[in-house]
């Protein structure tokens, strides 16, 4: 059995070829996930970004856990610091951290002592989240969709 949630046809062909699957059942479903809601809002200037995020969280998901995806490690660190100053319990999470640091962040988040993880888009956090915020749109819709469903899919 081979399972993947997001493989394109060429990748499916590579996988079935390498596994030697000649007669196999291929199941595909729509990218529509009725349990997810997508909302696109204008991005405020960077000087007001953390305040706008705090207001959105307070209005839509007060006290609930969430993930914010950024494009760079630096932007994760800067945004998490600003969110903390604005009263959101946030911490960054990216590949530049040692595993022990990542574990502390995830454990604090899972215990509820941390409300928001600010992570780079390349990381797939395997956790349950009530909301996901993407600071910058993906180059292609398909990538943005994957990142939006990723925290829920891996719960």
Query: In angstroms, how far is CA 90 from the centroid of its own chain?
Result: 14
| Exposed e or buried b per residue across 33-62, where buried means at least 16 C-beta atoms within 10 angstroms of its C-beta | eeeeeeeeeeeeeeeebbeebbeebeeebe
CATH 3.40.50.300 is held by the domain 38-153: yes
Contact 63, 95 (CB under 8 A): no
Question: For the chain, what is the mean pLDDT?
Answer: 81
Given a cut of 90, whether residue 117 has pLDDT beyond it is: yes
Model pLDDT for residues 15-34, shown as the tens digit of each residue = 888 888 888 888 877 767 77
Q: Which run of H or E residues covers position 73?
A: helix 73-85
Q: The whole model's pTM is what?
A: 0.70
User: Quick one: what percent of the chain has pLDDT higher than 90?
Assistant: 40
Given a cut of 50, whether residue 87 has pLDDT beyond it is: yes
Q: Which residue spans of the chain are classified as CATH 3.40.50.300?
A: 38-153
What distance in Å separates the CA atoms of residue 115 and residue 9, rounded to the nearest whole number? 38
What distance in Å separates the CA atoms of residue 127 and residue 155, rounded to the nearest whole number? 5
Model pLDDT for residues 27-64, shown as the tens digit of each residue = 877 767 777 777 888 888 888 999 999 999 999 999 89
The label of the residue with tokens 């962040």 reads 105
């Amino acid at each position: 059995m081979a399972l993947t949630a997001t493989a394109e046809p060429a990748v499916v062909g590579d996988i079935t070829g390498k596994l030697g699957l000649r007669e196999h059942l291929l199941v595909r479903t729509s990218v529509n996930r009725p349990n997810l809601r997508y909302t696109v809002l204008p991005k405020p200037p960077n000087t007001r970004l953390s305040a706008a995020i705090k207001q959105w969280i307070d209005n839509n998901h007060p006290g609930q856990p969430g993930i914010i995806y950024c494009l760079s490690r630096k932007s994760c660190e800067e945004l998490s610091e600003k969110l903390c100053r604005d009263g959101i319990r946030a911490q960054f999470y990216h590949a530049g951290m040692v595993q022990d640091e990542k574990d502390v962040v995830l454990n604090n988040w899972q215990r509820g002592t941390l409300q928001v993880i600010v992570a780079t888009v390349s990381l797939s956090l395997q956790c349950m989240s009530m909301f996901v915020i993407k600071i910058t749109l993906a180059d292609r819709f398909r990538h943005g969709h994957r990142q939006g469903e990723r925290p829920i899919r891996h719960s």
